[in-house]
Amino acid sequence: MNAAEKSSKLHWPDQRVLITGADGFLGGAMTRSLLARGASVYALVWSGNQECDVKNLMAAGATIVRGDITDLSLLTGLCGDSGINTVFHLAAINSNTGTQPPYALWEANIRGVYTVLEACRAASPKARIIIASSREAEECFSEQSVRPHHPYMVSKASAELMARAYNDTFGLLTSCVRSDNLYGGGDLNWQRLIPGTIRSLLQEKVPVIRGDGQLARAYVYIEDAVNAYCAIAERLHRTDVRGQIFRLSTGINSSVLDIVRQLVEISGWNDLVPRILHEKCDERVDKIYVPTREKQLLDWENTVGLREGLARTYEWYRTHSGELS
């Protein structure tokens, strides 16, 4: 590392941060964490989500901006007028199936990315830009992949290519993050395994497993994921970090059935047996990824083990059960 790179240490109280998708699970966690670190945070919330409750983010000190990530004039004005110098682009439509019409998804996930990048190029060319990708994108770059490509997968691969193009051609400091399954308190997508199972247990219902329960993936606790995103931003001035793709994983895969059984034990319903439907699911099968590179380049590693993380998550939902639908 040269002297210029060593001297470019990021100081969060000096940062004016834009977080897109701040009303989402990761976005909300990022917003709260960066406010706690002393940053000034502009939280972009989709204007079409009128039911979004941002009172907690406002109370924490975030400046709420309602709009659309495809609105170039809005983002260019925001980046320029507010002096944005760090961007976490987390907004996206998440759909891992091929059944949803692609137009709206691609508008958000592809046009949204190049709109954010273009706004930074025009108004904040020295900003550090970290974009949430997905392990789904790996399928698009693998010659061995035989899995059918669906729109969400393609949108995330496109986002990675566009970020690299803006980095290489225009000198923007960009990086993309592929993460394994994120979990923790505050995720209100009940279709996901962990929040859905916990809600069933709190409602004294038998958890339902759609497949055979053997699908195994790694699960990253939300606080560890937030720390990884911040670690990337803090080092994005370095030549061995900028333009790169980083992967967040624990290096340990756990099956769906094991996750459900652990949550059952944590709930105290030790005699409860989940109902397994054995439905055929077109699920991505993840190879185990050990984040040695992330440890070396980012000094990042998981600090919350699965059992501890599941216990914390269960307790969050139990404590907030009266507020959740």
From CA 115, how far away is CA 70, in angstroms rounded? 6
- Active site (catalytic) residues: 152
Q: Is the distance from CB of 255 to CB of 213 less than 8 angstroms?
A: yes
Distances (CA, A) of 235 to 167, 257, 298, 301, 323: 15, 38, 7, 15, 38
Burial of residue 179 (number of CB atoms within 10 Å: 0-12, 13-18, 19+): buried
Letter for the amino acid at 233?
Answer: A
Distances (CA, A) of 107 to 58, 81, 231, 324: 28, 25, 29, 30
Helix (H, G, I), strand (E, B) or coil at 195: helix
Q: Is the distance from CB of 197 to CB of 260 less than 8 angstroms?
A: yes
Letter for the amino acid at 132?
Answer: A
List the helix and strand counts (H, then E) for the chain.
12, 13
Distances (CA, A) of 312 to 34, 165, 232, 323: 21, 40, 25, 18
Beta strands in the chain (DSSP E): 16-20, 40-46, 63-67, 86-89, 128-132, 173-179, 181-183, 208-209, 216-217, 219-221, 245-248, 254-255, 275-276
Q: Is the distance from CB of 325 to CB of 195 less than 8 angstroms?
A: no
What secondary structure does DSSP assign to 34-63, as a single string? Answer: HHHTT-EEEEEEETT-TT---HHHHHHTPE
From CA 183, how far away is CA 172, in angstroms rounded? 31
